[in-house]
Each structure stands twice: as C-alpha cells, then as structure tokens.
Amino acid sequence: MAVDPSRIVVLTGAGVSAESGLGTFRDKDGLWTKYDLAEVATPEGFAADPAKVHAFYNARRRNALEAAPNAAHVALARLGAAGAVIVTQNVDDLHERAGARDVIHMHGELMRGLCAACGATWAQQGDMEPGDACPDCGKGPCRPDIVWFGEFPYHMERIAEAIAACDLFVAIGTSGEVYPAAGFVEEARRAGARTLEINLEATGGRFDARLIGPATDVVPGWVATVMDGRG
Ligand code: APR
C-alpha cells in the first residue's frame, strides 16, 4: 500500500551515522564502552568536572566536522523534502549536511552551545572550555547544547503531534534502549500507524516489518520505493 511521504515519521539513531565513521553508543567499541556516561553525559558529571565533559564533546564535535554524510542521510533528506518528518536522537549535523531541513534534534546538537545561566543557544563549531562566557549574558557556565541523561528531551510536543498524525513510523539505526524515543513505536501503533525498523539486527521494539542491513544499503532503496509509490 503506497504511503504519502508527508505521513511518514522517521526516527534515527547512531546507526545512521555509523558508516560515516561516527561511533555508536552500545555496539562493540561503542562510546559507552569507553566512557562512563554518568561522568560525561549528566548535569552532575558536568558540575563535577566541566573540563572532562568539554573534552568529551570537543572530540565528538571535531569527529563530526571531519565526517561526511552517507547515502542514508542523503536519501532521508530526499524523503524529508517530500514532507516526511525526521526526528533524530543524534547530535551530529550529518542530516543537515546531506540537505535535510527542519530536522528535530530531540537530544540537542553538538554544533550548538547553551548558557546554563540564561538559556541562550548559539552556533558552536570550535572547542568549548570551562570559563567560556555566554555571548548573551556574559556569564555561564556554558555547555554543549546536548540533552543529558536525567534532562527532558527537546521538542516532545511536536514529536507527539507528528506521530499521532502519521501513517508510517520508521526507526532507523537505533537500539531502542533509551526512552522516550524507545516508546515512539508504541505511540505510533496506538495512533494506527504501520511501523518499520531498519537496522543491522532486530531490536526489542514491536515493529510490523523490518529491513535488516546497513543503513547505506537499505535506506536508499526503501526511500526509492516510497518515492515511486511502492513503499
Ligand atoms: N546500519 C544500521 N543500523 C546500525 C548500523 C548501520 N550501519 N550500525 C549500527 N546500527 C544499529 C545497531 O544495531 C544499534 O541498534 O544502530 C543502533 C545503535 O544503538 P545505540 O548505540 O544504542 O545508539 P542509539 O539507539 O542512537 O542511542 C540512543 O542513547 O546514549 C544515548 O543520547 C544517546 O541518542 C543516544 C541514545
């Protein structure tokens, strides 16, 4: 049954950027096998050792700047241009650099800074360090504009509205381990949408269908079937 691209919600995770050379979190050699997330991805960790947290995100920001979007990002940008809503858990900007517009970054963005004092955010490509002054209020502390564990993800109302209205929900390259994103597939089922998972392997999510394989192999072909009305 053909689906209108404007009735599709896509959720991406680290697996869509894996073939661009950016690490995932929970795969073998994933980021959380090398770093203690409590130390580098929580407000408490930032308060305890801001220099360590800045060093962690400075390295990820540099990696993201050196990486290139892959064929999955390009195909999803094409689907987004046809009206699909792209929600990402990723904090890299590879969707945007592949041409996607209005991507919903529910976990924030590496390429933006945030003032913990006044809430201002700004474009941030260079390294950050403790003592940086907020460009708006002149105070701080300034931090990467990333949603840490224990903090509330961004744009949740907009995401809920999009899922409630969609006919097809597609999760690409995410392990489904972290809520609230992991619960989106159930929200979509309750809304009467079909659900599809694209991943190297089946995760625990209740999806109606699965396409198993690397995102750069599977996503372009799937987008092509949607765009010519076979999806
Ligand atoms: N193609 C498709 N899927 C892939 C590929 C690939 N080339 N490589 C890995 N994957 C899949 C893995 O099978 C796994 O299911 O991507 C998923 C990566 O899972 P995680 O590392 O848990 O990443 P993600 O689901 O995005 O994590 C969610 O957890 O730590 C937080 O905020 C962080 O946004 C992140 C959230």
Report how far residue 25's alpha carbon sits from residue 58's, in angstroms, rounded to the nearest whole number: 17
In the β-sheet with 8-12, what is the strand arrangement from edge to edge?
104-105, 85-88, 8-12, 168-172, 194-199, 209-212
- Render pLDDT for 156-207 as a digit per residue (tens, 0 to 9): 999 999 999 999 999 999 999 999 999 999 999 999 999 999 999 999 999 9
In terms of Cβ atoms closer than 10 Å to its own Cβ (0-12, 13-18, 19+), residue 192 is exposed
pTM to 2 decimal places: 0.97
- Residue 1 banded pLDDT, cuts 50, 70, 90: low
Distance 133 CA to ligand 1 centre (A): 34
Domains along the chain with CATH numbers: 1-22+69-107+154-231 (3.40.50.1220), 27-66+113-146 (3.30.1600.10)
User: For residue 135, what is the DSSP state?
Assistant: T
Decide whether any atom of ligand 1 lies within 6 Å of the 23 Cβ: no
Per-chain mean pLDDT for the chain: 97
Average pLDDT over residues 76-91: 98
pLDDT at 231 over 80: no
Q: What pLDDT is stored for residue 23 in this prediction?
A: 86
Those residues whose C-beta lies under 8 Å from the C-beta of residue 81, and which sit 6 or more positions away, are 99, 100, 101
Model pLDDT for residues 19-57, shown as the tens digit of each residue: 999 989 999 999 999 999 999 999 999 999 999 999 999
Q: Which atom of ligand 1 is nearest to the CA of 203?
A: 15
Q: Annotated catalytic, 107?
A: yes
Expressed in angstroms and rounded, the spacing between residue 24 Cα and the centre of ligand 1 is: 5
pLDDT tens readout for residues 128-139? 999 999 999 999
